[in-house]
């Protein structure tokens, strides 16, 4: 429910008249993390709660949350490097001690909030790196610290120190993050997976996977080796999931759902599970399974027909003439609204969408479903 409770906030904050203001006093800039927590103690514990009355002079709570996360990163970096850079064997405990202080301060300053909305953290040791996930109110943040040398960079303090490693994703201000250590491969580079959710106060959720490999010789730059952007609906149980989340070992599997033209409401109709082979120094995509391969054919044919990509549409059709008809007849932004499937045996079926205005006759050839015929009503 916490994930499903954060899209309404986005809608509300786009209109000043509807905004759920969670403002805090903005007199002087807070000098430290404890003061930041104290400044935010009077606001609502999450973006979707009833706001407190806004003071006459205020600063946006999201800006102070960003300041808080930045201050935490600086605090952890300082603890990792003082009085001298920590050895890899001690880095996790140093980071934990720095974060535990803030967790305790949050328990004191935010004691009126539900515990899940107070500051919390997790530390994952990935020698010679330390991965940290932290959450506060409705938002989570991710940071990777690595021990490396920047002697060649004249603009940065030289020497081997613990420094933040750049991560291209996850996307801005996720709601929740789960971390998983991945098989390192022959090179032994630290690898990890971030399972990320992005949510508002109502509506569907983004559910994504981002996998990273960090080579210490690359310094502050990491490599993104896996990226999957999926979704959850209002009722996650309404989607027919396939596969099992598995992140241990050389072969991993990542299940997800995604929105498409065959959806009838705010729940994804189509779900998949992608597998990756991590036994080498590169993450190799090794396969994908779908919950409904027949509906994937219809959804993909519509997707490419909407942008008049005949070559792509042809790959989902039994003949060139059918592909040409789809490119001509499918309008932009076609959504199912209604979805019905009529089976005509193990190798044939008809998929009807939009109250039957569009009928796709499918045939199964060599294990693949293809569009054999398209029928469009006068209304369609």
When pLDDT is cut at 50, 70 and 90, the band that residue 156 belongs to is low
pLDDT grade for 151, boundaries at 50, 70 and 90: low
Indicate the helix (H) or strand (E) that contains 85: none
Fold observed for domain 294-376: Nuclear Transport Factor 2; Chain: A, (3.10.450)
Given this model, what pLDDT does residue 40 score? 83
Q: What pLDDT is stored for residue 357 in this prediction?
A: 96
Q: Quote the pLDDT of residue 50.
A: 60
* pLDDT reported for residue 20: 32
Q: What is residue 155's predicted lDDT score, i.e. its pLDDT?
A: 59
Task: Give 202-233 as a DSSP string.
Answer: SS-EEEEEEEEE--GGGTTB-EEEEEEEEEE-
Mean pLDDT, all residues of the chain: 86
- Confidence (pLDDT) at 228: 96
**pLDDT of res. 25:** 38
Q: How much is the pLDDT for 21? A: 33
Q: What percentage of the chain has pLDDT greater than the value 70?
A: 85
The candidate with the shortest Cα–Cα distance to 121, out of 132, 111, 107, is 132
Q: Which neighbouring-strand residues pair with 371?
A: 317, 362
Q: HSE-up of 20 (CA within 13 Å, CB side)? A: 19
User: Do the beta carbons of residue 45 and residue 114 sit within 8 Å?
Assistant: yes
Question: How large is the angle between the packed helices 33-40 and 88-109, nearest 10 degrees?
Answer: 30
Identify the residue with better confidence: 18 or 242.
242
List Cα–Cα distances, 48 to 175, 204, 322, 350, in angstroms.
12, 15, 48, 43
pLDDT of residue 152: 60
**What is the per-residue pLDDT across 173-215, written as a single tens digit (0 to 9) for each?**
789 999 999 999 999 999 999 999 988 777 778 999 999 999 9
- Distance between CA 66 and CA 211 in Å, rounded? 24
Q: Provide the Cα torsion 113, 114, 120, 122; round to 10°.
A: -170
Residues 6+ apart with CB under 8 A from 172: none
DSSP string, 233-291: -SSGGGS---S--B-SSSEEEEEEEE--TT--SSS-SEEEEEEEE-SSSS-EEEEEEES
* pLDDT of 379: 65
| Local confidence band at 6 (pLDDT 50, 70, 90 cut-offs) | very low
pLDDT band, very low/low/confident/very high, at 271 (cuts 50, 70, 90): very high
pLDDT higher than 80, residue 1: no
Of 218, 118, 225, 244, nearest to 182 by C-alpha is 225
247/37: higher pLDDT: 247
> What is the Cα–Cα distance from 224 to 127, expressed in whole angstroms?
18
pLDDT over 70 (residue 31): no
The pair of structure tokens assigned to 319 is 């003949």
With cut-offs at 50, 70 and 90, classify the pLDDT of residue 352. Answer: very high
> What is the pLDDT at residue 55?
37
- What pLDDT shows up at residue 324? 98
What pLDDT, on a 0 to 100 scale, did the predictor assign at position 34?
A: 80
Helix, strand, coil: what percent of the chain each, to 5? 25, 35, 40
Phi, psi values for residue 43, rounded to 5° = -90, 175
Q: Above 80 in pLDDT, residue 216? A: yes
Give the residue extent of every domain in the chain. 8-291, 294-376
pTM, full prediction:
0.85
């Amino acid at each position: 429910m916490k994930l499903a409770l954060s899209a309404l906030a986005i809608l509300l904050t786009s209109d000043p008249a509807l905004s759920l203001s969670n403002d805090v006093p903005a007199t002087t800039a807070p000098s430290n993390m404890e003061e930041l927590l104290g400044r935010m103690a009077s606001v609502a514990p999450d973006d979707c709660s009833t706001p407190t009355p806004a003071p006459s002079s205020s600063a946006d709570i999201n800006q102070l949350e960003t300041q808080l996360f930045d201050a935490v990163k600086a605090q952890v970096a300082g603890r990792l490097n003082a009085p001298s850079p920590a050895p890899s064997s001690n880095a996790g405990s140093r980071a934990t001690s720095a974060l535990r202080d803030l967790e305790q301060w949050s328990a004191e300053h935010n004691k009126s909030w539900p515990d899940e909305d107070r500051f919390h953290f997790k530390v994952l040791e990935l020698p010679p790196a330390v991965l940290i996930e932290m959450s506060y109110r409705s938002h989570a943040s991710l940071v990777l610290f690595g021990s490396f040398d920047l002697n060649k960079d004249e603009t940065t303090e030289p020497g081997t120190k613990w420094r933040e490693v750049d991560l291209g994703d996850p996307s801005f201000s996720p709601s929740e993050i789960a971390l998983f250590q991945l098989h390192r491969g022959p090179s032994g580079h630290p690898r990890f997976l971030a399972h990320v959710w992005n949510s508002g106060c109502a509506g569907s959720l983004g559910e994504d996977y981002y996998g990273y490999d960090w080579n210490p010789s690359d310094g502050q730059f990491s490599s993104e080796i896996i990226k999957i952007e999926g979704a959850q609906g209002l009722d996650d149980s309404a989607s027919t999931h396939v596969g099992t989340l598995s992140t241990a070992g050389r072969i991993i599997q990542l299940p997800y759902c995604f929105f498409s033209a065959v959806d009838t409401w705010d729940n994804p109709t189509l779900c998949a599970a992608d597998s990756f082979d991590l036994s080498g120094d590169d993450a190799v995509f090794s396969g994908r399974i779908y919950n409904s391969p027949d509906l994937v054919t219809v959804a993909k044919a519509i997707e490419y027909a909407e942008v008049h990509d005949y070559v792509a549409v042809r790959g989902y059709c039994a003949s060139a003439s059918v592909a040409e008809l789809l490119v001509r007849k499918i309008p932009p932004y076609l959504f199912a609204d209604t979805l019905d499937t009529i089976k005509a045996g193990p190798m044939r079926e008809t998929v009807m969408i939009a109250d039957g205005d569009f009928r796709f006759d499918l045939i199964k050839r060599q294990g693949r479903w293809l569009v054999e015929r398209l029928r469009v009503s006068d209304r369609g």
